[in-house]
A and B are shown apart, each in its own frame.
Chain A
């Protein structure tokens, strides 16, 4: 059985537990920003969180849970974060149905508050950025269902906590949760919702798999974690909305028909503040949680938020690109490019394959720039990618652009435009003219591997603490 605490136990020394108390107002997020600036990605577990009014929260805060690719890959059972593309593509192909526990068996329902006993202000909900209007749930997995089929849908959506029993949530237009909402509203009915927070990262990541509509996310989770997900009927909605039994807490309620209000500005994955928009409201009917619950927060716009989604995107892209270019060996969606860049590695591609792969990658969701390289370039090294770009590309020969393409949340989307411009760059080397002969290109300047190994051993024992870093 997997849950958040089993992951924290396994993570061991990769967890930073600050000794001092930290406020939910800016201080915990500032710690994440400082870690990010240092290129360090421990899980952060704040056991002494201070609420906005200065009181100690009985609930601890966990953040930076998925800031590390290595740790996130380990959580997913992948041997190496570099294999995320292939591993995700394989995992999604084997859905496993969930199991449903009986009443009273779910850890997440050890404590149940209903009606006016609910108070979101008692949760250590973070205020992250100076321009946020208030505290936001950032790791709320919003589960709704299609009223026509009863099939569940789950996506993480930001939720502005506005009062003890009031929060917004923001499903993007035409997303599956938005479709479900509109269906209920078209019938004049409130949309039932459940927001679950805090689970094993593998469950959290898998629950957000991009699926068809309507298609159950619970089966996809089973496929990724390799075992049935444990679910339980929600207190408010019973069997209509099942919730993960091993989550830390669940907020249940309804989105009343037509209840829309201003929401935001709020920090987006782009690193910019998204504008104030119109979002549905939720009236909270119940809060359930573990006795000693932990509250999970994603650092909006930080690696913590980008790494898991980007790794899942790598899986989808790998599957897509292999269909048009079988020589595609790996894909990396780097955090530096937010969710807009894809690095594609091909292994001895046929002459037409790099462009085919680039064109396909640019069709996928938010990919705005795709860069194709050979197997000798490390696609997980920004320096290597820029080196390939600098030395292997002629811009008038090796690029392709697509105009008026969809790409939601691109901050540079021109006002009034129907779409954005996308760019593909072929930085692969020319192929050899005859089998067995060298590629018609200058060879890399390399030191012998044995000498390099010796140099690494020498450096491992050296004190580098006072060496200049730049």
Chain B
């Protein structure tokens, strides 16, 4: 019997936590790589660079 069920199931979403309101939202890798563009918190509308985020959670 062979099985790959569950193998490498690591997810693919990158989550950012806003330092202003502690809300989480997910972003694309391309947006993070575009250093000139600011992230925009959909909860409180704070705009900030990745380095200013409270946390960035990437897939393992």
- Residues of chain A at the chain B interface (Cβ within 8 Å): 131-134, 260-262, 264-265, 273, 275-278, 411-415
Contacts and interface: CB of A to CB of B under 8 A. Distances in A.
Contact of B59 (A132, A275, A415): A415
8 contacts: A261-B37, A261-B38, A276-B26, A277-B28, A277-B31, A411-B12, A414-B12, A415-B11
Contacts of B40: 133, 261-262, 276
Given A131-B42, A133-B42, A262-B40, A275 B10 contact: no
A133 B14 CA distance: 17
A266 to B, nearest CB: 9
Given A261-B37, A415-B59, A278 B12 contact: no
Interface in B18-55: 25-28, 30-31, 34, 37-42, 45, 47
Interface residues of B, number: 22
B26 A278 contact: no
A276 B34 contact: no
B22 to A, nearest CB: 15
B12 A413 contact: yes
Contacts of B41: 133
Contacts of B26: 265, 273, 275-276
Given A262-B31, A412-B12, 18 more contacts: A134-B42, A261-B37, A261-B38, A261-B40, A262-B37, A262-B38, A273-B26, A275-B13, A275-B28, A276-B27, A276-B31, A277-B27, A277-B30, A278-B28, A278-B30, A278-B31, A413-B12, A415-B12
A414 B42 contact: no
A264 B10 CA distance: 23
B5 to A, nearest CB: 13
Given A131-B25, A265-B26, A265-B42, A275 B14 contact: yes
A123 to B, nearest CB: 20
A278 B36 CA distance: 11
B16 to A, nearest CB: 8
B37 A265 contact: no
A264 B41 CA distance: 9
A131 B59 CA distance: 21
A411 B13 CA distance: 9
